[in-house]
Amino acid sequence: MAKLVIAGRSDCPYYAKVELLADRLANSVNCCDVHKIVKTPEEWERWVKNECEERKFDYEKSPLIWRELVDRGGKGILIGGANEFQEYVLGYYGIKSDLCTSDVTKISAENRSTKKETDKELEEFKGLSKPMKVCISNAGSPVSYHLLNSIASGEIFGTEQELVVNLLGNDDELAQLNGMQMEVMDLAHNVLRGVTVTSDPKEAFAACEAVIMLNQLMREDGEPEDIWLKRNIDNFVNCIAVMDELCKPTVKVLIAGIGPINTSLYVVLQHIKNIDKKNIITMPRLIENQAKAIIAQKVHVKTSDVVDVITWGDNQHYFCDLDKARVHNHDGPIWGPPSYSRLANILIHEEQWLSKEFSELLEKRYTLEQDSMKHMPAFAHAAAINTLMQQWWSGSPGDQIVTLGVVSEGWYDVPEGLVFNFPAKFLPNGCYEVTPDVDLTEDSKLKVKECVDYLLEQRYQLFPDQRPLPPPEPEKPEEVIESPHPPTMTPIKEETDLELKPSADESSSETPSDTDMHQTTSAEPSLAKINEDVEPVEDGDNSAQLPPTQPTDDNVTMEKPDVADPPQQ
Q: Is the residue at 476 inside a domain?
A: no
Q: Is residue 257 included in any domain, yes or no?
A: yes
pLDDT at 487 over 60: no
Residue type (1 letter), 373 = M
Please indicate, yes or no, whether residues 387 and 299 belong to a single structural domain of this protein. Answer: yes
Does the pLDDT value for residue 511 go beyond 50? Answer: no
1 — pLDDT class (breaks 50, 70, 90): low
Domain final residue, candidates 466, 497, 528: 466
Q: What is the pLDDT of residues 38-66, one digit of tens each?
A: 999 999 999 999 889 888 898 888 999 99
- Residue 113 and residue 169 in one domain: no
Specify whether 343 is located in the same domain as 433. Answer: yes
Residue 535 main-chain phi, psi, to 5 deg: -70, 150
Statement to judge: residues 317 and 340 lie in one domain: yes
Does residue 491 belong to any structural domain of this protein? Answer: no
Residues 6+ apart with CB under 8 A from 452: 313, 413, 414, 415, 418, 420
- 246 and 275 Cβ atoms separated by less than 8 Å: no
Beta-carbon contacts of residue 135 (< 8 Å; ≥ 6 apart): 165, 166, 168, 204, 205, 208, 210, 211, 212
Mapping DSSP to helix (H, G, I), strand (E, B) and coil, where does residue 32 land? strand
Q: What is the CATH number of the domain that holds 253?
A: 3.40.50.720
Q: Is the pTM of this model over 0.85?
A: no
Are 295 and 272 in a shared domain?
no
pLDDT at 532 over 80: no
Number of domains present in the structure of the chain = 3
pLDDT band at 6 (very low <50, low <70, confident <90, very high): very high
What's the mean pLDDT when you consider all of the chain? 83
Q: How many residues does the chain have?
A: 569
Same domain as 77, residue 203: no
Q: Domain check: are 269 and 345 in the same one? A: no
Domain contains 516? no
Of 334, 315, 167, 339, which Cα lies nearest the Cα of 255? 315
CATH number at 119 reads 3.40.30.10
Residues 428 and 369 in one domain: yes
Same domain, 352 and 434: yes
Residue 73 lies in a domain: yes
Q: Are residues 310 and 438 both part of a single domain? A: yes
Tell me, yes or no, whether 134 lies in a domain.
yes
Q: What percent of the chain has pLDDT over 90?
A: 51
In a domain, 566, yes or no: no
Whether residues 71 and 140 fall in one domain: no
How many CB atoms are closer than 10 A to CB 523?
A: 8
Listed residues 227, 259, 278: the one ending a domain: 278
3-class DSSP assignment, residue 280: strand
Domain that holds residue 11: 2-125
The torsion angles phi and psi of 119, rounded to 5 degrees, stand at: -65, -40
Question: Is residue 203 located within the same domain as residue 221?
Answer: yes
Q: Which residue has the higher pLDDT, 512 or 26?
A: 26
Q: Residue 188: inside a domain, yes or no? A: yes
One-character DSSP codes across 514-569: HHHHHHHHHHS--HHHHHHTSPPPTT--GGGSPPPPPPS-TTS-------PPPPP-
Judged against a pLDDT cut of 70, whether residue 504 lies above it is answered with no
Domain of 346: which CATH number? Answer: 3.90.110.10
Domain C-terminal end among 63, 93, 125: 125
Pair type for strands 210-215 and 132-137: parallel
